[in-house]
Amino acid sequence: MRVDALLRAGVTRSFEFFPPKTDEESATLETALEDLVPLAPSFVSVTYRGGEASRQRTFDLVTRVQREGRLTAVAHVVLAGHRRRELAEVLERYRDAGIENIMALGGDHVPGEGPTELTYALELVDLARTVGPFSIGVAAHPAGHPRSPDRASDRLHLAEKLARADFTITQFFFRPDEWSGLVADLADRGVTKPVLPGIMPVTSLRSIPRMAEMGAAVPSELVTRLHAANERGGPSAVRAEGIAAATELCAALLDRGAPGLHFYTLNRSSATREIHAALFGP
């Protein structure tokens, strides 16, 4: 099904995966998929790491998932490192393979790739509209995109982009006010398309600096909470506390009217399954 139709039908639950590079990563992904399929997610999305080989792996995984008929798949399409004609060909391949849903993203240039002809993801949205009847998602950053000069210009650009797309999925964040503020800001700009909150639990202390590098710093109150858990019970207690905090965030978001929840799984299922069970039952 199209994601925009799924969002109109009710609250969605979705999971994100990345295409494996090695046999070990493939085995991990297969286990996660088998574990998560029984939860009947509304859709799953597959990222694109950059480069021609990764682009093919994304295509292969998306089309395989869709062909198996158990899950609705969403393909990430990235404009960085591509000419306009190349992007059109990528979109045509997805259209011809029966893929109805894409995420139109800017991405980061990978060494060795060709020149980037488009500048903004909204241009990729426009291109996708000319290629096929896709349901199109775009990315949002509650704290502002790392490359944006300020939050105001980032929100203006996001509003323009989302006005042409069908939905957005946010970067992960940790406070419900971050989502509420983003939604209210977009509404003030006349854009009321669905904003799906991205969720990633902090399951270890070493994840804290890494998440900041990814553009979403863990707030001080959660850092304190996780360190206190570590003092009580070590790494297992940290993991449990991080999952509890993510579950609380999800519940608050649903209470505030979030149209769904999008879980960044890192190709592993256990934390996502625990949060899902706490919210929706086993």
Q: What residues are labeled active site?
A: 16
Is-contact 201 170, C-beta < 8 A? no
Distance (Å, whole) CA 250 – CA 232: 25
- Residue 250 CA, distance from chain mean position: 15
Is-contact 262 199, C-beta < 8 A? yes
Is-contact 79 121, C-beta < 8 A? yes
**Residue 157: is it exposed, middle or buried by C-beta count within 10 angstroms (0-12/13-18/19+)?**
middle
The type of residue at 52 is: E
- Cβ-count burial 187-200 (b if 16+ within 10 Å, e if not): eeeebebbbbbbbb
Which structure tokens are listed for 260? 């769904």
Rounded to the nearest 5 percent, the helix, strand and coil shares of the chain are: 50, 15, 35
Distance (Å, whole) CA 180 – CA 185: 9
